[in-house]
Amino acid sequence: MPDPITVRIDGQPVAVPAGSTVAVAVMLAGIACRRSVTGERRFPLCGMGICLECRVAINGNQHCRSCQILARPGMEVITDEL
């Protein structure tokens, strides 16, 4: 198994296996990617870039599809969970 890497999700360090997507990192952190307009917690659904339920901010870029982006060391991910 590859060495883990660490990303920051909502300011907290999260270790994930190298090669994981950002969606996996968010799920391993046990938090939702975003909230619906009515405040419901939303999680990755399709895993292939279609549903947009996995959108997060990555390094200041809004609405990134976390299921389509590999986690990189030092990445800053912000969800709508807070």
Q: Shortest distance, CB of residue 53 to ligand FES, whole angstroms?
A: 5
Instruction: Tell me the pairing of strands 55-58 and 34-35.
Output: unpaired
Supply 55's token pair: 């959108």
Q: Which residues in this chain contact ligand FES in the complex, by CB under 6 A?
A: 44-47, 49-54, 65, 67
Closest approach, Cβ 24 to ligand FES, in A, equals 11
Shorter beta-carbon distance to ligand FES: residue 19 or 49? 49
Residue nearest to ligand FES as judged by C-beta position: 67
Specify burial of residue 77 (Cβ count, 10 A radius: 0-12, 13-18, 19+): buried
